[in-house]
Structure 1
Amino acid sequence: MLTIQARSRTIKRVILICGFRIHRSIQIPAKLRTDQFATANTMSGLLYSANISDGFLFNEAGSLLARYRAAHAAGFQYVECSQVAYQYNLDDLVAVLEETNLKQVLLNSFAGPNAGDLGQVVLDVPDEEFEAGIRRSIQYAKAIGTSNLHILAGKLPAGKSRSDVMRQYLRRLQWACKECLPRHVNVLIEPIGPFVSPDYFLNNYGTAVDVIGELDCRNLKILLDVFHFKQLHPTYDVIKWARTNRKLVGHIQVAQSPARNEPHAKGDIDYARILPQLGDLFPELYIGLEYKPSVPTQQSLADGKSAGNIFDYATP
């Protein structure tokens, strides 16, 4: 709790020191797109989404297009993926989604020419380059039918602190929200822990809450990744945080800690307790299975089903 609060106060001091004022005059459409009629077809009753990015589910199938088909064959209705999508022709992605009748519920933003940078918001690149990447991301999101775009912040540039780049982060993120809003696309921000990148800019959930408060954009939400939350705030109860910030959450992802493997595996996170509560708090939200299977994906899914109904991720 102290860590989250301390970071929250820091961002407000940073904004004051930078002398940067956030403009709040954003036009809001009557209603953003929501998936009010999404349904679960599993014993869990939860809206599980298969994350088919590199390193996660169904990678043994091969190409991203093959992973879509494998997810469909396994019984999933919903899928999500990272910037790997931008390596594929947009028409091919649209075609495979139509073929499988899968719904894409989340897409990561284009990360730039070097995917290892994990985004361009805080990078030393011209605004024109950053904006072109976001426009490309929106084009893909609209074509494949997702209303959730996770805009990756990027790694801290060498020699700079988070305070140094906060002003740029807020300015560019606000611009992205304005671009997405009339197109009915929600912008998601996700704090990422040291397991993935110790230099990632957004690394605190308290900071994410304050960013949303400062920008005051209706289409800006937090991607609650329970794995990253545990890595960043190991002593804080994620359910307590979720209840407090319920209206700010736009998507959920899960993986066990510390190995980032199956949620039903033994680890630091009690998913048998947490998942039902997340389902009660966020019945309309998708829960992305962004984990690294310790066995082939089909076996991982079968093991989950054997572990209990709450881990019934997909039903063929």
Structure 2
Amino acid sequence: MPRFSANLGFLWTDRPLPDAIRAAHAAGFQAVECHWPYDTPAADVAAALSDTGLPMLGLNTVRGNPGENGLSALPGRADAARAAIDQAIFYGADIGAGAAHVMAGFAAGRAAHDTFISNLRYATDRAAEHGMTILIEPLNPYDAPGYFLSTSAQAADIIADIAAPNLKLMFDCYHLQIVEGDLTRRLEALMPIIGHIQFASVPARGEPDRGEVHYPHIFAHLDALGYAAPLGAEYRPQGESVEAGLGWLSPYI
């Protein structure tokens, strides 16, 4: 039976993060994850996690300046990129997060590739000190045109090049369906390097009970593959409330 994590970057954004954690627990999610929690004191987040018993799966490095969408592949921005990595790891350690997603940013070319590799080596070394995983995520060119990391093959090559045991792929079904499709076989092929899986409907990025991907098949296939970690619900609610769109979750709780 699959388990699910509420991505609080998209769900229950109308309330403070500790309250969103409690709402996710009340709705039946087995874990939570977030984007940029840094304005909330880590102690408040940790208290909500303790109260609910939910694990925090991960968080993102900051986007940087407007228009950057991450820092770690931007030549000339190494100091800021590494400060963002440190921030994510230290905050993540304070709340018991299992992973930090290192955002690459808008960049292209060999210099960007080399910069990203260097910063990821730094990130994996620092994360290992806290028992954390570093995630990298391909983003589709419609939502994030010009983002450095755009395909699973590119991510797999980077992971192989760095060869750190705590560097993994964030497999976002929404982004990879748009860019590559064939999710069933792609999940099978990439399973050895997957560190987290997220989902949303395609193309609207809403609840997973609509659109072109039949998620009950994806969830059952992952279950058959033995993937037991919670799957990240990273979608934008299409109705009046998060709760109004949770019919997709009810068969699994």
Is TM (by shorter chain) over 0.5? yes
Higher relative contact order (CA 8 A, sep 6+): 1
Q: TM-score range by the shorter chain?
A: over 0.9
2:73 aligns to what? Answer: 122
User: Matches of 1:124 and 1:89 in 2, distance apart?
Assistant: 31
Of 75, 82, 86, 1:131 maps to 82
Counting only pairs closer than 5 Å after superposition, residues 185-196 of structure 1 correspond to structure 2 as 185-196=132-143
Q: Percent identity?
A: 32
Counting only pairs closer than 5 Å after superposition, residues 288-303 of structure 1 correspond to structure 2 as 288-295=232-239, 296-301=241-246, 303=247
User: Matches of 1:250 and 1:49 in 2, distance apart?
Assistant: 14
Counting only pairs closer than 5 Å after superposition, residues 8-19 of structure 1 correspond to structure 2 as none
RMSD: 1.7
Code of the residue aligned with 2:205 in structure 1: it is R
Question: After superposition, what is the alpha-carbon deviation per residue over 1:54-92, rounded to whole angstroms, capped at 9, x for unaligned?
Answer: xx21234x2222211211221223000101x01211222
Q: TM-score normalized by structure 2?
A: 0.93
Of 264, 267, 270, 2:214 maps to 270
2:32 aligns to what? Answer: 79
Code of the residue aligned with 1:238 in structure 2: it is L
The answer as to whether partners of 2:104 and 2:116 remain within 8 angstroms in 1 is: yes
Code of the residue aligned with 2:117 in structure 1: it is L
Q: For residue 171 of structure 1, give the secondary structure of its aligned residue in structure 2.
A: helix
Question: After superposition, what is the alpha-carbon deviation per residue over 1:198-255, rounded to whole angstroms, capped at 9, x for unaligned?
Answer: 1211001110011111111111110110000011114xx1121121221100110010
User: Matches of 1:261 and 1:248 in 2, distance apart?
Assistant: 27
Counting only pairs closer than 5 Å after superposition, residues 228-267 of structure 1 correspond to structure 2 as 228-234=175-181, 237-265=182-210, 267=211
Counting only pairs closer than 5 Å after superposition, residues 1-316 of structure 1 correspond to structure 2 as 45-53=1-9, 56-60=10-14, 62-83=15-36, 85-112=37-64, 114=65, 117-156=68-107, 161-234=108-181, 237-265=182-210, 267-295=211-239, 296-301=241-246, 303-305=247-249, 309=251, 312=252, 315=253
Q: For residue 57 of structure 2, give the secondary structure of its aligned residue in structure 1.
A: strand
Q: TM-score normalized by structure 1?
A: 0.75
The answer as to whether partners of 2:75 and 2:115 remain within 8 angstroms in 1 is: no
Structure 1 or 2, whichever has the larger Rg, is 1
The answer as to whether partners of 2:71 and 2:77 remain within 8 angstroms in 1 is: no
Consecutive unaligned residues of structure 1, counting only runs of 5 or more, are: 1-44
The answer as to whether partners of 2:30 and 2:230 remain within 8 angstroms in 1 is: no
Q: For residue 33 of structure 2, give the secondary structure of its aligned residue in structure 1.
A: strand
Post-superposition offset of 1:192: 0.5
Code of the residue aligned with 2:82 in structure 1: it is E
User: Matches of 1:282 and 1:251 in 2, distance apart?
Assistant: 14
